[in-house]
Amino acid sequence: MPIQGVWMEVEAHQFEPTTGKLGWEIVIKPMFGMTTDDEVVVESEKKLEEILEVYEARLKESKYLGGECFTLADLHHLPNIQCLFGTPLKRHFEARPHVKAWCEDIMARPAWVKVIQKLSVYGNVFSTATQRVFACLHEKNLDYDFVNVDLSIEEHKQPPHLARNPFGLVPAFEDGDLKLFESRAITLHVSYAYQANGTPLMAEDKKMPIQSVWMEVEAHQFEPTTGKLVWEVVFKPMLGMTTDDEEVVESEKKLEEVLEVYEARLKESKYLGGECFTLADLHHLPNIQCLFGTPVKKHFEARPHVKAWCEDIMARPAWVKVIQKLSV
């Protein structure tokens, strides 16, 4: 505790006054249209370099300032470091390898990621594509804002939403300044950008090609077929429309062919990409859930490995949270 106490004092009386001035001059002032005081910046940068030399020496001796464990001595630095890493002053931290490694380590902590993240999903809870994004975010234990897009009044075709998704579809997604649409592109981004959070959804490098194959299979074989069935046997009845029985028969026949391939694959591994749950499995969840409430369920249950896989992935806590949204 005495060592931690020393570095908490260093942060309060050396690091904070200097980085606080820099944050004010080069981040906050420009935001409010105020003029940066270049002399203060130059003087404070010089002081920052002196301070970081002391930090570099300390961090050669231990992983964190207080020792080998993350403590308040490290945590108290996070806001100003985060602020300055978005400016040219980042170079002073990166020029010192131990300081750089320490900064990257503490800024990647899940608790801090939750502080700085601003994730927004624009969609509809009954949209299977929106549900796909929800599932990924819950697997990653990420908090997000949900903005409902009312499809019944064609809100998705209005200019505000078209600015987010030019095709007038849901979902759309924002991660800070990054704006995305297309559910599978969104889940890929989340899986890569937040690798340290929650469930790893990308396979190891050597197994990634197999996962990629099954992500393509889902998008180009499973989705077109099950998507038609979901529309005909779930959504059309909900909307008072007449189901096209010929379309159902044709799509069920195609589904059986697709599921035979899945059964063969799932005899070899627990999940489509291997022995671990990945995006290759997650992407299937919305349509499987829809069809399990219809007679089409029989095609999945007729194949023991497909049945076991469906039951496994639908029971995942992250997916259960998505389903709970439908009853709110």
- DSSP character at residue 243: P
The angle, 0 to 180 degrees and rounded to 10, between the axes of the packed helices 128-139 and 183-193 is: 10
Question: For 116-145, what is the mean pLDDT?
Answer: 94
Please name each of the domains of the chain with its CATH number: 2-113 (1.20.1050.10), 117-193 (3.40.30.10), 205-325 (1.20.1050.10)
d(CA 144, CA 135): 12
Q: Select the more confidently predicted residue: 266 or 206.
A: 266
The confidence score (pLDDT) of residue 328 equals 62
Question: For 147-156, what is the mean pLDDT?
Answer: 93
The angle, 0 to 180 degrees and rounded to 10, between the axes of the packed helices 38-61 and 16-23 is: 140
Residue with tokens 């063969």: 264
The confidence score (pLDDT) of residue 156 equals 95
Q: Is the pLDDT of residue 117 over 80?
A: no
Of 258, 328, 280, 236, residue with least CA distance to 132: 280
Cross-strand bridge partners of residue 67: 64
Q: Is the pLDDT of residue 305 over 90?
A: yes
Question: For 107-122, what is the mean pLDDT?
Answer: 86
Neighbours of 78 (CB within 10 A): 17
Each residue of 3-41: pLDDT tens digit? 999 999 999 999 999 999 999 999 898 888 899 999 999
Query: Residue 53 to residues 56, 60, 93, 98, 100: CA-CA distances in angstroms?
Result: 5, 11, 10, 10, 12
Q: Is the pLDDT of residue 1 over 90?
A: no
Each residue of 244-300: pLDDT tens digit? 999 999 999 999 999 999 999 999 999 999 999 999 999 999 999 999 999 999 999
Residue type for position 291: L
Each residue of 211-241: pLDDT tens digit? 999 999 999 999 999 999 999 999 999 999 9
d(CA 111, CA 105): 12
The confidence score (pLDDT) of residue 113 equals 80
| Tokens encoding 205 | 């490098």
The confidence score (pLDDT) of residue 219 equals 98
Of 196, 218, 209, 224, residue with least CA distance to 282: 218
Q: Which of 60-69, 165-174, 186-195 has the lowest mean pLDDT?
A: 186-195
Neighbours of 106 (CB within 10 A): 19
Q: Is the pLDDT of residue 150 over 70?
A: yes
Cβ proximity of 259 and 244 under 8 Å: no
Residue type for position 102: W
Q: Is the pLDDT of residue 145 over 70?
A: yes
d(CA 140, CA 197): 5
d(CA 1, CA 5): 6
Cβ proximity of 286 and 131 under 8 Å: yes
Neighbours of 228 (CB within 10 A): 18
Cβ proximity of 96 and 56 under 8 Å: yes
pTM, two decimal places: 0.69
Of 295, 291, 289, 290, residue with least CA distance to 313: 289
